[in-house]
Chain A
């Protein structure tokens, strides 16, 4: 890009028209910045400003509807002495890690199953994507009902298969509740992995498989030494995407458990919401949300650079 513009620079200078308003507006840089001014102003006002204002809030003692008082790092110190905060941090990492691994492995399985010839493939693909496109809150309510303590259809099927009554308390037991939210996050996110990886699989030239087969490669060899290396860039991008949004997840936990039982499923986002909105301590809540920033910033920078490069 740099070489390009240097080469074209003098030519453009020679051709420069006399300075009229129309001519000025037609310059690449003037046109570009004028065109981008409105959206950039909008993003500065509603993303840039809140972002820095959030940092300021986190340094204030700021009850709702009262002016804030600057308290330095007091909120962060409160967080670090709060055992629930550390529970929340551990929960968030477990949730993100487990759900990501499950979505990746399941998604790869889905992509491999779909990368075969069969009838009605497009219809099947459309149906498989439904969990990903239906509003999360609405499908999560269906799961809430499927795991209901008294009338869980999952438990009624398990009891039919011989599990002792009344069956597991999916959302009432701390360990099972974490398991449940991980599984439901996986249910929702797996199609995204699957369909994206499928698109990647379809770009692998068949000749490579043929060549590997002639060289004596088994099915596993072909997967391990042909498919996986070629999919690796896509796997990386999909995973980074998914990790960012799983790490900052809110909806699913808010609907299913509200962070309970005994904070066993609270994530950074739901805990920040409870403190900031529920308890009305905007400053402390903002400080909890901001503790996500270092990990998120790392992921965002990694993914941004990767998307630029690709």
Chain B
């Protein structure tokens, strides 16, 4: 790759465009953070420079936690995300392993079906699903979302894991088979332990997708005690036409932090998963 050599050229070629993308990408988060620590007197005073804070305060955070059910929503969100991610990894593996390793009639059809189901967007299904959840008497229970999130996550995990499984060499499994291990033993004791990186990638994706989910939670969870963070923030911090911007931004920031932390630990796995769908699969 031919690059400019002088410091000025280098600045124009590298840091000007990269800096532009960084500022645009990050400004909303900066604005979230700075708003959440501004006292109302500064927040709604147009004479002051808006980009800085004079007297930072944690009042909005204290109010958010003491006046709303934010902590409960956070707990609900975590619980739902962890359980539906676990369910999706298990069911996804059960689909992906035979498709990656076995030869049987109908394998191609199943693989295509899974890819297609993964691509079906929620708005196509939410009305009939709402009726199904009602008839099962699951409205306003966390079970309703724990059951419905995997409808998106299982095909997704299966597809991602299928790609990963195919990259794992077969020799160890073949050796185990020759030694007389059953297919189930081979899969559980030999194959799956080799696939931890694949599980981490799929798991992070599934976890962030469940944290992000809004439509099903909005429809199925209408009581404060069972809400997740996105629905709680939208439904209860925007009260009529009155906005509590300090609290809203505090909630938005706190709600983003779990995903951001998990993401920062596993960013390489995340990027690998993100790009494997289109670059390798």
Contact = CB atoms under 8 A, between A and B. Distances in A.
A138 B31 CA distance: 12
Interface string A243-255: 0110110110011
Contact of B278 (A25, A134, A238, A245): A238
B13 A42 contact: no
B221 to A, nearest CB: 13
B24 A187 contact: yes
Most B-side CB within 10 Å, residue of A50, A57, A128, A138: A138
B279 A200 contact: yes
Interface string B239-281: 0000101001101110110011001100100110011011101
B91 A39 contact: yes
Given A135-B212, A135-B256, A250 B21 contact: no
Interface stretch (B55-63, B123-131, B165-173): B123-131
Contact of B259 (A110, A134, A206, A248): A134
A53 B211 contact: no
A37 to B, nearest CB: 8
A143 B182 CA distance: 56
Contact of A43 (B117, B122, B231, B274): B117
Contact of A135 (B25, B103, B158, B211): B211
A98 to B, nearest CB: 17
Contact of B131 (A53, A109, A110, A300): A53
Contacts, number: 293
Interface string A118-161: 10001011111111011111110111011010010100100000
A127 B25 contact: yes
A290 interface: yes
Interface stretch (B64-72, B93-101, B195-203): B93-101
Nearest to A123: B267
A74 B14 CA distance: 59
B124 A289 contact: yes
B194 interface: no
B121 interface: yes
Contacts of B82: none
Contacts of B158: 39
B116 interface: yes
Contact of A285 (B97, B127, B274, B279): B127
A196 B94 contact: no
Nearest to A110: B21
A46 interface: yes
A101 interface: no
Interface of B: 1-3, 13-15, 17-18, 21-22, 24-26, 28-29, 31-32, 35, 43-44, 46, 50-51, 91-92, 94-95, 97-98, 102-105, 107-108, 110-112, 114-117, 119-132, 147-148, 150-151, 154-155, 158, 182-184, 208, 211-212, 214-215, 218-219, 229-231, 233-234, 243, 245, 248-249, 251-253, 255-256, 259-260, 263-264, 267, 270-271, 274-275, 277-279, 281
